[in-house]
Amino acid sequence: MTSVLPHPSASRERVATRRHYLMCRPEYFAVTYAINPWMRPETPVDRDRALRQWDVLRRTHLELGHRVDLLEPVPGLPDMVYTANGATVVDGVVLGARFRHPERAAEAAVHRAWFRSAGFACVVEPEFVNEGEGDLLAVGEVVLAGTGFRTDPRAHAEAARVLGRPMITLELVDPRYYHLDTALTILDDDTIAWLPEAFALASQAVLRERFPDAVLVDPADAAVFGLNAVSDGRHVVLPAQATRLAGALAERGFTPVPVDLSELLKGGGGPKCCTLEVRS
């Protein structure tokens, strides 16, 4: 009988840190247009179910000890539930979003207004298209910066100036994974999970060199938005359908926390899309 040795990092103690999140109730959630491959206006959306699923996610963050503030939903903006796209916050500096598609453009000003009203002194309206934490993911002292479908590559230099962090540009090539946070998850300052096939070959090489101990994700788990997850360094909140990824995380010493956001996946989002981290 062949025994399977545990992964060398399995015995590493994973430490959770308390986070501050911004979320928005899917009060007006709908799929009335298609701006990504997941959106099918002809498929009915159960808004009550979406609200219940979203509330489970909110309560999960609270039960894990995190702070959750709420952005007031606005009629006519059905994608506001995906707050992660509305800004990037590092060391209390807020780089606002500029959306590529006009259907979401008005969300950017709502996010900026919330941060100003919450007392953030530096809230910047960007010149170039960037879709917040959808494509700008802070890890350690750098930011992984996605491009290819939404965020303008010129926004990376702008983000470096505003946030004071080096940017590592990564090119996405699969339209199903149109934002970086659909193809890659930050697990802690040293560890990521990712789907190599979603990236250009040069970007794959960059990630393999920088994160040699990364968790490689099965395409089937990526297809249920398994990588659109939220980690506090120990607990990883991820779609319940990503069972293989949950097992791989547990083998590495993380604690997977499955939630069902299948209704919100109809708009092209998962736990991370619904969770903007406020790093103050």
List residues with catalytic annotation.
179, 273
Structural contact between residues 250 and 234, judged by C-beta atoms closer than 8 angstroms: no
3-state secondary structure of 69: strand
Alpha carbons 253 and 216: distance in angstroms, whole number = 15
Are the CB atoms for 270 and 82 separated by under 8 Å?
A: no
Query: Checking DSSP bridges between strand 255-259 and strand 276-277, what pairing results, if any?
Result: unpaired
Task: Determine the Cα–Cα distance for residues 27 and 20; give it in Å rounded to an integer.
Answer: 22
3-state secondary structure of 204: helix
- Cα separation, 202 vs 170, in Å, equals 8
Q: Cα 40 to chain center, whole Å?
A: 21
- Cβ contact 207:191 at 8 Å: no
At 28, the amino acid letter reads Y
Taking residue 52's Cβ as centre, other Cβ atoms within 10 Å add up to: 13
Strand 167-171 relative to strand 184-188: parallel, antiparallel, unpaired?
unpaired
CA distance 180 to 170: 8
- Contact (Cβ atoms closer than 8 angstroms) between residue 23 and residue 230: no
Q: Which run of H or E residues covers position 258? A: strand 255-259
